[in-house]
Chains A and B, each alone.
Chain A
Amino acid sequence: MGHTLVEKILGRKLNREVRPGDMLTLPVDWCMVDDIMAPFAIEKFYEMGFTKLYDPDKVVFIYDHFLPTTRVEDVRQIKEADAFAKEQGIRHIHRTDGICHQLMVEKGYIKPGDIAFGTDSHTVTYGAMGAFSTGIGYTEMAAILGTGETWVKVPASIKVVIDGTLPENVTSKDVILKIIGDLSACGATYESMEFTGSAMEEMSIASRMTMANMVVEAGAKCGLFYPDEKTASYCGIETKEMLEALQPDEDATYEKELHYKAMDFVPVVACPSLVDQIKPVNEVKGTKVDQVFLGSCTNGRLEDLQMAAQILKGKKIAPYLKFIVTPASQKIYREALKDDTLEILSDAGAIITTPGCGLCCGRGGGILSDGEVVLATNNRNFLGRMGSSQSQIYLASPKTAAATALAGVITEP
């Protein structure tokens, strides 16, 4: 009996065959620690009796939730992380470079087959590269920082097969939202999701990251794409055998299989206040919005900004509407400067902020008051996530965001 991709990745790490339900003690390739959780992880690390990191070169500290700082206590978090990094000889620190998940991939840390843990639930993003990655709490991170390993129960897998070509007005965001809607917010809890089919092969790395990023919203442990030529070229690797080792067997066993035709997808939104409340954009069209947010680790990449710019070029956003654009990293910011994307968006009336988590984590970047409605490209629309619990959040694709910014009401691109 064959193996799923997650079984292949985990088994390869341990040089043995693994099956769903097996409890494994796994060596960890990457520990990603963000600025919200670093001080807590550090405190637990010492409390546990550790004095030295298992390997400082496998640890990446990224400050993104609190930058730019909006509260005086934000700085304390950063200082504590800095002091620890210095003491422990951590070289991989990104203080103002952008959002952690974007940087882990963009800066070349993550390679196919890697095992990565992060103190943020959207650590699942690296599944786009064919790596096993998932979010954990700071206590567990502290234990990994000390020991270099942790336990994982091998998950069962859900296979999602999408063939064909997506309609012009549909993006990978619509695809993953639709899948979450079909599975429900806990439909993949504890499980691994695998994405395959010709539509997935066609997808850019950026689009794959959008999908992998959101599998946690269905409760999944990880969301994996099969490493291919695009992955290899993005990572600058040529190890053909490794890529071959990281494909599932044809006779692998799946808990569930979902099959879609790409052409059947339509632009969708997740309605307030749950990610699985999915409706076609057309069913909520005309809903007035006060703000549109384009950004986050889900949809703050160059192609996302470009999609919006294409729709907004030479046009102006609706009057009295706030359109906030937060590129996911400084590298993306520069690329978007170079190809005039930012200028087009600024001309249209966008407020372009410095890269970071921004509004998605609700600490700044366009917080909402009672009664306000936002359409946003990020990953969560939980009650009160972006400010007042009396505000409403719709999640959508960058194309829907741009069309909505133009009209001032929810609009299909």
Chain B
Amino acid sequence: MGMTMAEKIIALAAKVPVTRAGDIETVTVDRLMSNDGTTHLTIDMYHNQLKHPHIADPDKLVWFVDHNIPADSPKTAASHKKMREFAKEHQIAFYEGEGVCHQVMMERYVRPGELIFGADSHTCAYGALGAFGTGVGCTDYLYAMVTGTSWVLVPSTIQIRLNGKLKEGVCARDLILTIIGQIGAGGATYKVMEFVGEGMKSLTMADRISICNLCVEAGAKSALMEADEIALTYLKEHGRTPKAVLKSDEDAVFEQVITIDLGEIKPIVAKPHFVDNVAPAQECFGVKIDEAFLGSCNNGRLEDLRVAAQLIKGKKVAEGVRFLVVPASRSVYKEAIKEGLIDTFVQAGAMVMNPCCSVCWGACQGVIGQGETLISTGTRNFKGRAGHKDSYIYLASALTVTASAIAGEITTSDRV
């Protein structure tokens, strides 16, 4: 009996020849990512709860200040300071204001075949490069930081086979939202969502990251894609080589197999207040918006900015709508400047922010007020996530969000 890709990565990390879904393995973690959402708590635990505080391998740690940057209160600034000083003392790679952690991880660290823990739920994004990334809490993070190891319950896999090509005006984000709507917000809990099939060939790295990133919204432990030609080219361009290029064996056992024809996917939105509360975009046409957000680890990459800029060029953001454009990293920002995209957005009346989590995190920049409606390319639309508890978040693709910013109400790119 063959192994799934997830089983193979975990076996490699556990230094065992074979492992099966349901097994518990002790693994050596390849990389430990953490950000200003929780790192200050980890540091407190490190100082207060350990008898012999030490770090197994500081080179494996990568820390980011991306959620509240620039700081919006003395409290968050104090958390950042704590991180900065700890990182400096222990020589931990430290990025402040360089961009959203997952994007910078993809640009600089993630390698196919690695097992990566991140103290952030969207760590599953790394599957786009064939790495097993999964979100953990502070305690798990601290344990791995101190010992270099952790335990993993080997997950079963839902394999999603993609055929065909997305239609014009449809984004990878529409695909993943459709899938989440189909299997439900708990549909992949503890499981891995693996994407395969000839449809993969038409998906760019940006598309793939967007898809894997959102799998946690179906409850998935991780998301995986084989590191194919496209992924390996990206890796090479960013100056890295794989740890191992792996894929599921043909006779591997899958929990479930879902087949999707990409050509069937339509623009979709996730309505308040849950990610699986999806509906075809047209059902929401006419819903007035107060703010639109293009950015986040899900949709703030160059490709997203390109399609959005192309759509808004020569047009204006609707009067009274706040359109936030937030490149996912400094390198995205700089590329976007070179391509003239940033100028296009500013000219159209958008507010271009420094790379950060922005309103997806709902604390720092662009929070929405009572009764307001936001259409967002962010990861979540939970009640109150973007600001006031009585507000509404619709999730949609970069195209649909930009079209809605122009119209002042929810609409799709073919209608503006």
Contacts and interface: CB of A to CB of B under 8 A. Distances in A.
Which of A95, A347, A351, A358 has the largest count of B CB atoms less than 10 A from its CB?
A351
Interface string B311-350: 0000000001010100000100110011000110011011
Contact of A75 (B70, B81, B94, B372): B372
B222 interface: no
B368 A72 contact: yes
A93 B354 CA distance: 25
Nearest to A324: B70
Interface stretch (A35-43, A52-60, A214-222, A362-370): A362-370
Contact of A69 (B84, B94, B347, B369): B369
B334 A71 contact: no
A387 B77 CA distance: 9
Contact of A333 (B97, B352, B364): B352
B96 interface: yes
Contacts of A324: 70
B41 interface: no
A74 B370 CA distance: 10
Contacts of A71: 367
Contacts of A343: 334, 337-338
B24 interface: no
B309 to A, nearest CB: 13
B115 to A, nearest CB: 30
Nearest to A75: B369
Interface string B66-99: 0001111111111011001000100000101100
Looking at B77, B349, B366, the one whose CB has the most chain A CB atoms below 10 A away is: B77
A334 interface: yes
A351 B354 contact: yes
Given A75-B370, A346-B330, A388 B343 contact: no
B388 interface: yes
B387 interface: yes
A387 B97 contact: no
Contact of A320 (B72, B77, B88, B330): B88
A338 interface: yes
By DSSP majority rule, is chain B's interface helix, strand, loop, or mixed? mixed
A150 interface: no
Interface residues of B, number: 46
Given A337-B342, A351-B354, A370-B74, A320 B94 contact: yes
B352 A354 contact: yes
Contacts of B367: 69-72, 74-75
B78 A369 contact: yes
Contacts of B370: 72, 75-76
B368 A75 contact: yes
Interface string A62-78: 00000111111111100
Contacts of B253: none
A196 interface: no
A337 B343 contact: yes
Interface string B344-378: 00110111111000000000111111101000000
Contacts of B347: 334
Contacts of A355: 351
A139 interface: no
A361 interface: no
A387 B343 contact: no
Nearest to A358: B70
B74 A367 contact: yes
A328 to B, nearest CB: 14
B369 A73 contact: yes
Nearest to A353: B354
A322 interface: yes
B369 A347 contact: no
B81 A372 contact: yes
A352 interface: yes
A388 B70 contact: no
A342 interface: yes
Contacts of B88: 320
B70 A367 contact: yes
A322 B96 CA distance: 8
Contacts of B94: 320
A388 B322 contact: no
Contact of A353 (B70, B76, B96): B70
B294 to A, nearest CB: 13
Given A330-B346, A359-B70, A367-B76, 5 more contacts: A68-B351, A320-B88, A343-B337, A367-B70, A388-B74
The 4 closest A-B pairs by CB, nearest first: A75-B369, A366-B70, A369-B77, A369-B78
12 contacts: A68-B351, A72-B368, A72-B370, A73-B369, A75-B369, A352-B333, A354-B352, A355-B351, A364-B364, A366-B70, A367-B73, A369-B74
